Chains A and B, each alone.
Chain A
Amino acid sequence: MADNDILLDIRGLHASVGEKEILKGIDLQVKAGQVHAIMGPNGAGKSTLAATLAGRDNITVTAGSISFEGEDLIPASPEERSWKGIFLGFQYPVEIPGLSNANFMKAAVNEHRKQRGLPPVTAVEFLRMMKEKMALVEMDASFSSRAVNAGFSGGEKKRNEVFQMAMLDPKLAILDESDSGLDVDALRIVGTGVDKLRRSDNATILITHYQRLLDYIVPDFIHVLYKGRIVLTGGKDLAREIEERGYDWITGKL
């Protein structure tokens, strides 16, 4: 693949939360069409990496670079990153009582359209989009009028993240533990939903503890993050090895 297929290019990234340095030199290149899984023990920095890419303002990049489609991403606000085509699936999706899923998504879709010089989506087209994407994650009709994540079960919240991803059609989706807290049915819905959104012109970074999500979405690469660095990169079989042997055999060698 040519270098111009590189969507995301992270080099020597160091980032801190408050005084504490969490990311200590991350290098990662993600090309269009690829799925990367990032695994690692608790506290390795996985969620911090995801939040850094989405532009969370309590994280400070202290060294290194992040470029997206060849442009420096670091100065961009969270909304600008979304407009560029970056999507973060939250580990803990936020509840917004009083705001319906439909109104939330209409505001988001219309902002995306505005950035591309398009008029607001028509009511008919929006309904069609909602229906199609709700079907992808098996949400029933009541979903669109319910408040965003308010009173949702763990599984519903994660399905809602995949639904929002489908609505916004990002170039790069970073899914932060989209499999945590799911029963087998919800895991299947989330896993197959994300897999169906896979195309040759988009890419996904899956952050996960477990191999089970990777049964549905087979990654091209698996990276093990430990103490703020990627310490091992392998193919899809690495996940099974981690599942069987834990992380000690990797971290023990360091």
Chain B
Amino acid sequence: METLELRQGGMKLHIEDGSAKSWLVMQRTGGEFPVEITVGEDASLELAFIVLGDVHVSNSLTINLTGRGANCRLRGLWLIGGNADVRFDVRMNHEVGECTSEQIFKGIEGGSARSDFFGLIKVAPDAQKTDARQQCHNLLLTEEARANAKPQLEIYADDVVCTHGATVGRMDDDELFYMRSRGICLEEAKRLQLTVFAAAALDIVPEDVSAGLEGWIEAISR
């Protein structure tokens, strides 16, 4: 996995037919980042965003699956606090058939942070055998934190599999009590719960990167 630096003015990228790219975007400073990526025939794209801290970030991401057999795995994780304001605007365009896309977004919001996620999956009329999945789940740590998640499907083909799920929740008291009743102290129980929650968005990320997030998770769980 290579690091990809986004540019404020916007960028356009293309994954050529039959090739594979795996990019990690780390965002610790703010800005507006429009990105458009086209994925060619039998090409595959892995793209993971990690947004950390007290930042104002707006990502507009358009992914066009333009060749048959194109495949995209998209991940996003934000661990935010303070007055952070994080926005993701994702458009996954299945322009031709037999492409797959899988999106997993996880947000942990502390302090007075807020996040907004808009995710559109658009399947063109001829894009049969599309497999498109999207999840966005949020965990609010404080009364002041906010999260919005709006999934949207526009499907013009009939032989497709499209799923989406969005949730906004809080720490699970039953889980915390269960762990504490086994002697795991409250802080460690919270840290475990957040680590487990975030894990699904980190499956394509190298282990040293996800291990490097432990400090952030520990800080945010206090």
Structural contact, B181 and A111, CB atoms closer than 8 A: no
A79 within 8 A of B: yes
Structural contact, A56 and B183, CB atoms closer than 8 A: no
Q: Give the contact stretch, choosing among B4-12, B87-95, B116-124, B192-200.
A: B192-200
Structural contact, A79 and B197, CB atoms closer than 8 A: no
* Most chain A beta-carbon neighbours within 10 Å: one of B180, B193, B200: B180
Question: Contact mask B168-201 → A, CB, 8 Å, 1/0?
Answer: 0000001101111111111010001100110110
Q: Report the bound CA distance from A238 to B210 in whole Å.
A: 57
Structural contact, A79 and B200, CB atoms closer than 8 A: no
Structural contact, A111 and B174, CB atoms closer than 8 A: no
Structural contact, A98 and B200, CB atoms closer than 8 A: yes
Q: Known contacts being A97-B196, A107-B188, is A79 close to B183, with CB within 8 Å?
A: yes
Q: Known contacts being A96-B196, A98-B197, A98-B199, is A164 close to B174, with CB within 8 Å?
A: no
* Residue on B nearest A167 in the bound complex, by CB: B182
**B interface residue count range (under 10 / 10 to 19 / 20 to 34 / 35 or more):** 10 to 19
Q: Known contacts being A54-B181, A98-B199, is A79 close to B186, with CB within 8 Å?
A: yes
A78 within 8 A of B: yes
Tell me the minimal C-beta distance from B92 to chain A in angstroms: 25
A168 within 8 A of B: yes
Q: Known contacts being A94-B175, A96-B178, A111-B188, is A168 close to B196, with CB within 8 Å?
A: no
* Residue on B nearest A109 in the bound complex, by CB: B183
* Residue on B nearest A97 in the bound complex, by CB: B196
* Most chain B beta-carbon neighbours within 10 Å: one of A55, A78, A108, A111: A78
Interface residues of B (CB under 8 A from A): 174-175, 177-186, 188, 192-193, 196-197, 199-200
9 extra interchain contacts, Cβ-Cβ under 8 A, other than A93-B178, A108-B184? A55-B181, A77-B186, A78-B181, A79-B184, A83-B183, A94-B178, A99-B192, A104-B179, A107-B188
- Listed by A's residue number, 24 A-B pairs whose Cβ atoms lie within 8 Å are A55-B180, A56-B177, A77-B186, A78-B177, A78-B181, A79-B181, A79-B183, A79-B184, A82-B180, A82-B181, A90-B181, A94-B177, A96-B178, A96-B196, A98-B196, A98-B200, A104-B179, A105-B182, A107-B179, A107-B188, A108-B182, A108-B183, A108-B184, A111-B184
